Amino acid sequence: MRERLDKVLAHLGLGSRKEIARLARAGMIAIDGQIIRDVSHKFDPSASRIEIDGEHVIYQTYFHLLLNKPAGYVTSTKDHDGAPITELIPEEHYRDDWMPVGRLDKDTEGLLLLTTDGMLAHRLTHPRWKVAKRYYAELEEPASQEDINAFAAGMELQDEKLQPAELEICQDQRKVELVIREGRYHQVKRMFEARGNRVLYLKRVKFGPLELGSLGTGEAKELSAAEALALYAEVGLKADIPDELN
């Protein structure tokens, strides 16, 4: 599909349209080896070589960011009842079209995925696809085998019937890991409350095939091509990833 030069470069995060026009006038933009000074020039970005000041720029349709969310931030791209997660995004990764995939409570830490692909976000959060989310939690009271059994059977919270969940108890029985496959409101906290317990600390450590790894608290990174491929495969979608990134 042919698109305007300024629209393509703005999509890639290479500046505002005003800044891109300035680069074009300076003769710093080349498409397939030809200097382009007219920002209204149309071309197929997926089939062309784009260069800015002699540097090859790889065109991507979608972008994905993995964030290790600290406590105290809200899963929002706007200031609403607390500091929004966008404050944590490094300048080189900042975009206006980031969408958080699911939510983490204000006091919950850990893995949060942001994407610009709406279909991917929809499938990753839809219960039909049963994408596994692993959490580490610290509890007020020790967990028990009865809790394991209740989680595995699929709990009922008010009028909600939950899918079976996997609960693993650590050596210190106040520390647990659990896997859920849906993302209902305050789900983990409500599940333990229904068992007469209370969550004191909660951190998401894995989402589908994605893991935090060595990513520090408050840090963010773009997904690698391998991570993006695995994420799309998890929900039956074909990833649109440039050959240069594979």
User: Kindly report the CA angle at 218 between 214 and 221, in degrees rounded to 5?
Assistant: 60
Grade residue 204 by pLDDT with cuts at 50, 70 and 90: very high
Structural domain includes residue 212: yes
Predicted model pTM = 0.91
Checking DSSP bridges between strand 83-84 and strand 55-57, what pairing results, if any?
unpaired
- Which range of residues forms the domain containing residue 21? 3-57
- Separation of alpha carbons 181 and 125, rounded Å: 9
Query: Please, are residues 85 and 69 in contact by the beta-carbon 8 Å criterion?
Result: yes
pLDDT over threshold 90, residue 246: no
Are 77 and 114 members of one domain? yes
Q: Which two tokens stand for residue 43?
A: 């071309």
pLDDT per position as a tens digit, 11-23? 999 999 999 999 9
Are 219 and 114 members of one domain? yes
Structural domain includes residue 245: no
**Alpha-carbon torsion, ordered 217, 222, 228, 230, to 10 deg:** -30
Structural domain includes residue 134: yes
Confidence at residue 199, expressed as pLDDT on a 0 to 100 scale: 98
Cα 51 from chain centroid?
29
pLDDT over threshold 90, residue 140: yes
Question: What CATH number is attached to the domain comprising 36?
Answer: 3.10.290.10
Are 131 and 223 members of one domain? yes
Query: Please, are residues 131 and 181 in contact by the beta-carbon 8 Å criterion?
Result: yes
Structural domain includes residue 237: no
Are 80 and 157 members of one domain? yes
Confidence at residue 54, expressed as pLDDT on a 0 to 100 scale: 95
For residue 131, report the phi and psi dihedrals to the nearest 5 degrees: -70, 125
State mean pLDDT over 104-109: 95
Confidence at residue 80, expressed as pLDDT on a 0 to 100 scale: 64
Catalytic site residues? 105
Q: Which amino acid is at 56?
A: H
CA dihedral for 235, 3, 57, 89, sign (positive or negative): negative
Structural domain includes residue 241: no
- Separation of alpha carbons 85 and 111, rounded Å: 12
Are 31 and 147 members of one domain? no
For residue 134, report the phi and psi dihedrals to the nearest 5 degrees: -100, 135
Are 51 and 161 members of one domain? no
pLDDT per position as a tens digit, 37-78? 999 999 999 999 999 999 999 999 999 999 999 999 999 776
Checking DSSP bridges between strand 109-115 and strand 199-207, what pairing results, if any?
parallel
Query: Please, are residues 240 and 231 in contact by the beta-carbon 8 Å criterion?
Result: no
Beta bridge mates, 55 = 52
pLDDT per position as a tens digit, 164-194? 999 999 999 999 999 999 988 899 999 999 9
